[in-house]
Structure 1
Amino acid sequence: MRGRRLNGRYELLELLGAGGMGEVWRARDHQLEREVAVKLLVPQRGGAGEAGREEMAARFRREARSAAALDSPHIVAVHDHGADEGSPFLVMALVHGSSLHEVLRDTGRVPLGDALRWTADVCRALETAHAAGVVHRDIKPANIMVEDAEGAGRAKVVDFGIAKFTEARATDPQLTTTGGVPFGSVLYMAPEQFRQERVDGRTDLYALGCVLYELLVGRPPYTGSAAGVMFNHLHDVPLRPSRARPELPPSVDRLVLTLMARVPADRPPNAGEALARVREVTDTGERRPAPRPPADAPLEPADSPPEPADSPPVPAVSTARRVWRDPDWTPTRLRPMPTGRRHTGLIAFTIVCLLIVGTIALRG
């Protein structure tokens, strides 16, 4: 496949990934002398029989039409589409960076600031798509790319392969689902997709809540067999992300659980409102108070951390005492003893001195 030139123009250079609908290649556009990403529908993956392949091809063409109509810096641009030797292909801008799937694979979880920033970017992409009447229906980490440092880490949504126009178009082919199985990724699908009910923009917001959960915790909200995960989406509420990361503020828990509400009416009404809520959580910057030691917390030596260069010296203190170390503790100057405690000490010292003097006098 490497070296194949589609329609005499797009030369396939490197396989970037593969999925249920086909393969994604880094390619060279010899007409405009630039590198692009080409999504190629592989016939043998097009389903069972000729009917399955035709349906996949029709869905592929609709992806081109859906994505080409969307203009947003947070949606990967579509440049061209066509077919070569019976294989439909889609030409897109090449994003220099990694998918969130790759980020999670390499890091396990991400800082809160990055998770909220990328979530906001996806909200902006969905706001544009939903305004055009397009529901993505397959928001997941693998379909969200993050540009490298030159792109300032901006997130972009890709793959409108199973996008659905919310308004019926007379020219659209009547596409079905093989065996009545809903399209999408089980780990991120909203309950209404499993029930094969009407979907709208709130369906994408549910999936985005699942993605945000995974960015924070390092795993999807529900795991296990496909049947078990489907049951969870339909009947359960995920654990709060702060159960896995206690430093997360309550506002983050509320944001995730609101996006993942089982009833669509309980989610934000649109992507613009979801973006406003993400911004609110980002701007408030809530932080939980420093943790306090449990009653049976193990003790450790109170070794003082090194003083900053511009801080006044701290008087030497004994390290024989053992204390619980507060992770947010920073060294400060020792304060003088409170007045009441100082007076008590002086009185005790005076009494001891008088007893010693009286004993010496008696012996004399």
Structure 2
Amino acid sequence: MDPQPSEDDASTGRFGGDEETGEYTPPEPEDLSGRVLSGRYRLLRKLGVGGMAVVYLAEQVTIGKQFAIKVMHSAQLQQPDAADRFLREARAVSKIRHEHVIEVVDFGQIAEGPYMVMELLVGEDLCSRLGRERRIAWPRAQRIGLQICGALGVAHAAGVVHRDLKPENCFLIARGGDSDFVKVLDFGIAKVRSKSVGGRALTELGMVFGTPAYMSPEQADGLEVDARSDVYALGVVLFEMLAGRPPFVADSPMGFLKQHMFSAPPSPRSVAPDAGIPSEAEAVVLKALQKDPTLRFQTMDEMAGAIAAVGTGAAAVEVVAEAIEAPNFAGRHMAFADTRAPRIPVWWLAGGGVALVIVVAVVASLWGGEEVPATTAVVAPVPAPAPAPEPVPTPVLPATVTIRFSVTPEARVIDRRDGQPIGRTGEAAGLSLPRSQQPRELLLVAEGYEEEALVITPNSDQSVERVLRRKKKRTGKPAGKGDGVSLEPVNPFKKGKGKQGA
């Protein structure tokens, strides 16, 4: 596990990676291929390795039906509550019956750790779809959003709050002629609020779980969360589908948390003026992103109704202007630990990874602390007024700024808006851009490497450091469409393809 979250893709809030390759390699666990679990499931081969678990292609030994089985790393058993959390996910999801929720059909325990048996799907996650298409027009985003609302509405009714909704955990498969059929994955950090699910509470006030780019303000603050936190996260996902990026951009987890708590989101139509976003759809997104949970949609059913009403002539939902306080982290200590599932080449799916975990310790001074002792007032003579200073002329800023790149390997810099080249990262003098307060989206392109998107506000001279990831060669591909069986071995954790959550 990499204990230091490093910058990876600031535009999406995904962190972690090797300094040279940009990829994270977890410790290699024992390969259990060939083992039969509980006398029922034979592990055929490893599909992917994550930071918390290994996913295998498996078959039921009696009828030969194939499943995806997630087995927890034996090393994780040393972590407090890890096994309880893993099995609680299995219990929670197994009680949610909905066509748009990943189906957990069985779970159990072996010497190496607990495991869960999930339906096998073929497709790709929404993050991969957005990586190819950049944006999704409202009619398709509307259908995807309604499916997610339905899935989470049933989960909330069962007492389960997801807490880590993001594009990677919305898996798209082909079913009934619909290539955007959604399966919501990875309830590994779900908040279980129903006693019927069983198990003791595993989180305390001040413990923050989730992915920074998609966290609700109350979740980022370590407060109690409910269904309205998932409403906020879905608002972020809808914003990203429509505008091509999340509402907030930052270079660190703390940068995201501050903005979720203290910054008003931009208008999706101002971020993507050419995307044809209906004003009623924008209102739905901005209402979901209200800082105060009481101003958001209170249930997924309510949000689904507003999404469905867009385009019917119904009036836009009300978005309340909020007074947002200035950020104040005095008296607070925050520590970060990156326990995400790493990037691993994959094409199969089920489950999703464990996201960034943030531990927030609030010290006594935040809640009042000790009283400050009174001091004796000292009266000093009033000094004579100082002469008024000479007015300082306003400096004239240069019309351009210089962006210096330190990129491995050297890459071309392209304006993502119009596709026009700007220059190369290897130029010693840097690249000149017109000074502006408006963010610019750039793209770093090098042969044999994944393209890297970044957002720069050219209001001052600045430096940019990046390490590009090498492209992975595909080793196989699905042999046909389906909703439960894959005919070709593929691997479920690669960004840009499907992933079987580990």
TM-score by length of structure 1 reads 0.71
Distance 1:137 1:151, change over 3 A: farther
Contact 1:21/1:56 (<8 A) preserved: no
Identity %: 36
Distance 2:314 2:54 in 1: 41
Match of 1:76 among 70, 83, 102: 102
Instruction: Describe the SS at the equivalent of 2:284.
Output: helix
Distance 1:132 1:149, change over 3 A: closer
Deviation at 1:83, TM superposition (A): 2.0
Structure 1 letter corresponding to 2:98: S
- Structure 2 residue aligned with 1:248: 277
Distance 1:116 1:220 in 2: 17
Deviation at 1:151, TM superposition (A): 6.0
Match of 1:106 among 91, 107, 132: 132
Deviations 1:16-60 (A, max 9, x none): 55544323333323233112122221233x2xx82x1x5111001
The answer to whether the aligner puts 1:155 opposite 2:186 as a matched pair is no
Pairwise mapping of residues 191-230 of structure 1 onto structure 2 (< 5 A)?
A: 191-224=217-250, 225-230=252-257
- Structure 1 residue aligned with 2:66: 35
- Structure 1 residue aligned with 2:149: 123
Deviation at 1:196, TM superposition (A): 1.7
Instruction: Describe the SS at the equivalent of 2:209.
Output: coil
Distance 2:168 2:218 in 1: 22
Distance 1:34 1:170 in 2: 27
- Structure 2 residue aligned with 1:24: 55
The answer to whether the aligner puts 1:190 opposite 2:220 as a matched pair is no
- Structure 1 residue aligned with 2:160: 134
Structure 2 letter corresponding to 1:228: G
| Larger strand percent | 2
Deviation at 1:285, TM superposition (A): 10
Distance 1:283 1:23, change over 3 A: farther
Distance 1:137 1:282 in 2: 30
Structure 2 letter corresponding to 1:254: A
- Structure 2 residue aligned with 1:320: none
Distance 2:259 2:45 in 1: 39
Structure 2 letter corresponding to 1:201: A
Deviation at 1:13, TM superposition (A): 4.4
- Structure 1 residue aligned with 2:307: 278
Contact 1:144/1:158 (<8 A) preserved: yes
Contact 1:35/1:94 (<8 A) preserved: yes
Distance 2:228 2:242 in 1: 21
TM-score by length of structure 2 reads 0.52
Instruction: Describe the SS at the equivalent of 1:275.
Output: helix
Distance 1:5 1:217 in 2: 46
Deviation at 1:181, TM superposition (A): 4.2
8-17 or 139-148, which moves further after superposition? 8-17
Pairwise mapping of residues 81-100 of structure 1 onto structure 2 (< 5 A)?
A: 81-100=107-126
Structure 2 letter corresponding to 1:257: L
Instruction: Describe the SS at the equivalent of 1:37.
Output: strand
| Unaligned 5+ runs, structure 2 | 1-30, 316-502
| Larger helix percent | 1
Distance 1:3 1:169, change over 3 A: closer
More contact order relative to length (CA 8 Å, sep ≥ 6): 2
Instruction: Describe the SS at the equivalent of 2:219.
Output: helix
Contact 1:97/1:148 (<8 A) preserved: yes
Contact 2:206/2:223 (<8 A) preserved: no
Distance 1:234 1:65 in 2: 32
Instruction: Describe the SS at the equivalent of 1:26.
Output: strand
Structure 2 letter corresponding to 1:161: G
Distance 2:312 2:55 in 1: 38
Deviation at 1:244, TM superposition (A): 2.9
Distance 2:243 2:197 in 1: 44
Deviation at 1:110, TM superposition (A): 1.7
Deviations 1:96-147 (A, max 9, x none): 2111122122222222221111110000011111111111111111111111
Structure 2 letter corresponding to 1:281: V
Distance 1:180 1:161, change over 3 A: same
Contact 1:130/1:201 (<8 A) preserved: yes
Instruction: Describe the SS at the equivalent of 1:272.
Output: helix
Distance 1:285 1:111 in 2: 20
Structure 1 letter corresponding to 2:202: L
Instruction: Describe the SS at the equivalent of 1:182.
Output: strand
Pairwise mapping of residues 232-247 of structure 1 onto structure 2 (< 5 A)?
A: 232-246=259-273, 247=276
Distance 1:144 1:90 in 2: 19
Structure 2 letter corresponding to 1:200: D
Deviations 1:230-258 (A, max 9, x none): 00000112211112332212112111111
Structure 2 letter corresponding to 1:236: S
Instruction: Describe the SS at the equivalent of 2:54.
Output: strand
Instruction: Describe the SS at the equivalent of 1:154.
Output: strand
Contact 1:116/1:282 (<8 A) preserved: no
Structure 1 letter corresponding to 2:55: V
- Structure 2 residue aligned with 1:258: 287
Distance 2:224 2:311 in 1: 32
Distance 1:127 1:276 in 2: 12
Distance 1:281 1:24, change over 3 A: farther
Distance 2:203 2:294 in 1: 27
Deviations 1:189-219 (A, max 9, x none): 1111122211111111111111111111222
Distance 2:161 2:254 in 1: 25
Deviation at 1:220, TM superposition (A): 1.8
Distance 2:119 2:51 in 1: 21
Deviation at 1:186, TM superposition (A): 1.0
